[in-house]
Structure 1
Amino acid sequence: MTSPTVHRMALADITGSEITKAIEECDRLGRERFLRAHGFKRAQRYFLSHNGRLYDSKAIVGVAHGYLLDQGPFEAKAFSGGADHAVALLRRLSFAVVDGPGAESEAYKELLSRVHKLKVNRSSGRPLLYQPITLLWAIGRARRGDERLLSWSATVEAVRSLLEQHGMRRERPRPDYPVAALYHAGLWALHDHSDPVPTAHGDSTLRRWFADNHPRGGLVEPTYDLLRRSGEARVAVIDTLLSAYFDGLDYGPLLHRVGLYDDEIADDLATDGAKPLPPVVTAAQYDRLCRIVEHREGENRDRRTPDTSYNPFRSGTARRAVLLRSKGVCENPNCTGQPADVTSKGAPILEVDHVMDLACGGRDHPSQMVALCPNCHAIKTRGRSREELREVLLEVAQERHTHWTTFEDD
């Protein structure tokens, strides 16, 4: 088999001319014949975008090699189609490479799998909170767009303070343990060190390694990017951590401290001119968000104190589900017309309303919430016909919720 070094050298010989010829061949044959002819499978993540069409990036690069003088196409098994190889070549040659439709879903599943598999100290009979607290802090940083990698001294200062104030199971203020554990779990990156990172066991060896190396660190880049932009992934990871490690604990102050306790927690990252709502909403997305709401609702079922009746994390997740379900359109069937304008970030001008107020026994749940334009929201809140409208909206909310949780995606 050809060595990886030779592969990189051979890839480096490819120019834009060979890539263009491979694209033209794909256009002539059609995608399926092109892939079969050269022994490639469909791309799962990376696609070459050219003149409004998407191409399987690894296949294009492999075939392009055959257009070099006295060379043949690369076989699929002979080189990597990942970000550091075929994709890097295409980008170096100024071709656009984009993530495919299923890429974020796969990244989402992989991240949740890693979080589920965390090895947490349970010697006391209950899971210690070192890693969950550190992860929640990092998720808050990703959400705000803080720099991904932080110096070791700054990490120590921040995580130590969180462990001292929110270590609800007598966790010691030692950030080296959770950072090392998350590194070996594939969730944390450590840079600027020469020695191998020790496992998160023992005491003096671990402390000495961090004291000697002072690595910069933070979430691995794909995880940071996903938690930065995807509200659904963000709340799913937070809910997983809360369910697995914070059972019976008051996590509200911790979430508030790290910036994860508000009504916009489940919103996707929106940039100027970009619509924050996806063009296609699936029943699976809606159902996942509703399940998270129900996890958080269930923990308060027997607790009636004012502190637990309203949960911004739960409310934000429910709000996101309702906005997705509405597809940007007022859910009042008798709406006389919502504003044609949008917000400065490109979102429809909609407000999510609890049809039955929480103080009157209503649920913080999509089955009792609706998305309304400002005019319909004003009528529902203070109009003379508000009671009649409330009955209509409650029926609409229940019908739409039932529809989205019972039909299957195509």
Structure 2
Amino acid sequence: MPLQELTSRTAVIEAVGRCDIIGPETLVHDSKVGPVRDYLLEFEGKLYHAKTVADVAYGIQHPDRPPLPADAFKGDAAVRSLERLDFTIAATAKLWPPDLGVEYPNRTIIRNAFGGNWVPGIAKFPGDDIVNVFSDEDGPYADEAPDPVKPFEYRGEGRAGDQQLTRGNKMLDQARQERRAVRYWYRPAGGTFKFVTWVAILSRAQVWSPDDTKKLRLEYTFQVAAVPSPEPNTWPSQVTDLIDDGEIEDTPPPRPVPQNAVSKQLPKTYLEYVKPFGDTPKACRKGRGPNKGNRNLYPRSRRARDAVLVRAADQCENDGCTGMPADTTPSGAAILEVDHVDDLALNGPDHPGVMIALCPNCHAAKTRGRTRAALKRHFRARAAKLHQQAMQAHQG
């Protein structure tokens, strides 16, 4: 490797004198050595682009040789060469970590700012111990939109075949066990990536979901909750009480019935959907709490969600709704969000009788609105009434 032939500390020091000083607002992109913000050389209290310094120093030491090609600087080759000469290397993400609320147009710009790989949905920036997760509403995973109040779902990485507890998924699981905060980046449809919140990883479970080839496979689903900072002593007790930081044994749920199965195997009516849960929420086992003897804490029943959507028949179930969105989902269905009136993660039942289908505006009002406490009481009664009406209608 050419950079292994950079052996002169004197050449590096001379190169430093020819290079620009780097500061937190500096963003220089060189066509050969790449973006400035990955690793920096620290020398006499100042910072310099490590790859640029290595490139210049190589030319000083070997003036009779042609310039180095761009692929000579792949990975951390320049960093290793400078460290061999006893220079101090600093990581951009350690010096100038991303501020909460910062936005970037895309993952490529984030990589240019902090280095690393722009492809994985779960990653650490070079030289940084903090895990970042990236959720894209236009992406291939069924992540839930981040919620500032309630726990929400983030799907693991791996787009073909059963997901494995390796790489990014393993990093997230280690953050759960060690109670370390994770940066949560989110891009709404057509928007930009924004560092929206710190999250704590509450639990891990497995769900069935189609991969890129439309074949069913097991995905990891991580329950996460927004926290105010990376310091655990600032996390509210309603979050810390929900963290399962022990070993979790994967227990895959039953494989769903194939779409082309015999029609009698597929539930069609509200009554058929609800039958496995029992007629009332009391007959249904409540959402599992933070019991160390009970793993995979908060799996949500797809069947219960589908039952509520069948009952709603493409209409917001809030009788005070001021208007559904004019747009629809790509399949032509109404844009509805199924809400557990009593939070599942706070031991609420996973039963259609205490779940309600809401349009995005009504769901936001119930979650974050000034009158959310009154809405919660109203929706609890409303869901029970709609459930009883649907049961009676199907029972004749």
What range describes the TM-score normalised by the shorter chain of this pair? 0.3 to 0.5
- TM-score, with length taken from structure 1: 0.33
- TM-score, with length taken from structure 2: 0.34
